[in-house]
Amino acid sequence: MNVPSLPVSSSEPVSTQGVIAAGAYVDGRRVANIAISEASSWRAKPGHVVWIGLHEPDMALLGAVQKQFDLHDLAIEDANNAHQRPKIEQYGEALFIVARTAQLIEGRIAFGETHIFVGEGYLVSVRHGASTSYTPVRERCESCPRALARGEDYILYAILDFIVDNYSPVLESIHEEVEGIEDDVLSKPISKAQIERLYMLRRDLLRLRTAIGPLVEVCRRLEHDELSMVRATMQPLFRDVTDHVRNIQERIDSIRGAGLRLRGEPAGRTGAGDGGLQEARLVARHHRDPDRACGHLRHELQAHAGAGLGVRLLRAARRDARVMRRTLLALPPRRMAVKRRAG
């Protein structure tokens, strides 16, 4: 399809600050590095795709890109103002997509956004805030011209897949920290600082889950809706991204459940008995090792029965009924005595 070139005024030069990369591609191979002012003419050539990457552009640069591709005013306004939820909007034959990005910075999850414009013969990505550069995406695509030759919707898939992939290092770092705290708590009473850190991580994980949740609907629409910019052959790839997002959600829930709901006393009031209670409750949530959880609970019940802690353990077990039920059902019959005691 030949796309008519739009008349663009060149009376006001546009700063290149904020332009990370801009190239024209034919059959999956880069044929030219282009200026923003040339984008429309390259896009109009048969078989050509223009791929532009921007990082925190000013309004003048966004305006220049808008003129080249006749982008909708509302989409440009959104791209200029971060703090958008993940979404997909259609303007004529073009799509505007928002996705949230995440990085772990100084122990906290920092969020950013990527706004993507997709139309016949072009894709423009706009990054704001905490986000990994998409240079690796471009390099990976360029290393496989046959895949890149699929066109704009393949580039869209590659960027979304990269965004979701980069949630994993954040979760892995948090998971390692949580496991470190769990191991520490098994050998000594939990400290106030550890409790505060666990709650902070839990809040960050909840924010991450909230931030990426709407991305499932974005990918679902790319997979199922009859969008002019997404060919049927690309829909299975967007299904993979949907599954990937859901997997990330499950991992978040697993980490939040594996110790992040720990309750405890401030360090100054935590004695050996309270430490045993906290340990038992923490291990009870350690679903991956039900035998270990059962053993710790039995030990605490037997060691402290009649001393007041046994009653507290029974109450804790009741509060954790759903967790313990799943744990105990996974045990052989000889261990079911604990279920009767905790019931």
Residue pLDDT, tens place only, 247-269: 999 999 888 876 544 444 333 33
Beta-strand pair 87-91/94-105: antiparallel
279 contacts 186 by C-beta, under 8 angstroms: yes
At 43 the pLDDT is 94
At 9 the pLDDT is 40
Phi, psi of 47 (to 5 degrees): 80, 5
| Beta-carbon count within 10 A of 61 CB | 20
At 266 the pLDDT is 38
Q: Determine the angle formed by the axes of helices 59-69 and 73-80, rounding to 10 degrees.
A: 150
pLDDT digits (tens, 9 = 90+) for 220-232: 999 887 787 888 8
pLDDT digits (tens, 9 = 90+) for 295-328: 555 554 444 444 444 444 444 444 444 444 444 4
Q: Round the average pLDDT of the chain to a whole number and report it.
A: 77
Give the distance, in angstroms, between the CA of residue 103 and the centroid of all CA atoms in the same chain: 9
Phi, psi of 58 (to 5 degrees): -85, 175
CA dist., res. 101 & res. 80, Å (int)? 17
Phi, psi of 51 (to 5 degrees): -125, 115
124 contacts 69 by C-beta, under 8 angstroms: yes
110 contacts 102 by C-beta, under 8 angstroms: yes
How many CA atoms are closer than 13 Å to the CA of 26, on its beta-carbon side?
A: 10
**Ramachandran area for residue 28 (φ above 0: left; ψ -120 to 50: alpha; else beta):** left
pLDDT digits (tens, 9 = 90+) for 159-177: 999 999 999 999 999 988 8
CA dist., res. 83 & res. 98, Å (int)? 10
> Can you list the pairs that 161-164 forms with residues at least 24 positions away whose Cβ atoms lie under 8 Å?
161/237, 161/240, 161/241, 161/244, 162/132, 162/134, 162/136, 162/137, 163/99, 163/101, 163/114, 164/212, 164/215, 164/241, 164/244, 164/245, 164/248
Q: Give the residue ranges of DSSP H helices in 102-151.
A: 135-142, 145-148
Question: In the chain, what percentage of residues exceed pLDDT 90?
Answer: 50
pLDDT digits (tens, 9 = 90+) for 56-70: 999 999 999 999 999
**Helix, strand, coil fractions of the chain, as percent rounded to 5:** 55, 15, 25
Whole-prediction pTM: 0.71
pLDDT digits (tens, 9 = 90+) for 182-233: 888 777 787 888 888 888 888 899 999 999 999 999 999 998 877 878 888 8
* DSSP run (H or E) holding 197: helix 192-224
pLDDT digits (tens, 9 = 90+) for 10-39: 444 555 788 999 999 999 999 999 999 999
204 contacts 108 by C-beta, under 8 angstroms: yes
